């Protein structure tokens, strides 16, 4: 009989990247590509909400949004993120 941890691991592998994986990978890609500091706030239904403290960084993210989405999804080996919602905090 398998224990619950093994069953959960198998289930997570079968559905692909987890919410945390998506958020972490997105934060890394954006930070590395644009050299700006961001926080991944939430991810639901293909929408990733991120925050930055700088209006110019938010603008730069918006200008490079499609390239960033392509790069993040490429790293995840799936099209997980369909849109970025950018907030300034």
Query: Structural domain tally of the chain?
Result: 1
Which residue range is the domain that position 62 belongs to?
Answer: 4-88
Asked if 89 and 51 touch (Cβ cutoff 8 Å), the reply is: yes
Q: Which CATH number fits the domain that encloses residue 45?
A: 3.30.70.2210
Other C-beta atoms within 10 Å of 33: how many? 15
Asked whether the whole model's pTM tops 0.75, one would answer yes
pLDDT in tens, 17-61: 678 888 999 999 999 999 999 999 999 999 999 999 999 999 999
Tokens of 35: 């050299």
**For residues 68 and 20, which has the higher predicted lDDT (pLDDT)?**
68
């Amino acid at each position: 009989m398998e224990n619950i941890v093994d069953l959960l691991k198998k289930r997570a592998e079968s559905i692909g990247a987890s919410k945390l994986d998506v958020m972490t990978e997105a934060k890394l890609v954006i930070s590395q590509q644009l050299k700006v500091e961001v926080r991944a706030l939430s991810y639901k239904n293909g929408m990733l909400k991120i925050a930055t403290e700088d209006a110019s960084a938010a603008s730069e993210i918006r200008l490079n949004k499609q390239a960033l989405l392509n790069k993040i999804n490429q790293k995840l080996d799936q099209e997980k993120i369909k849109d970025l919602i950018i907030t300034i905090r």
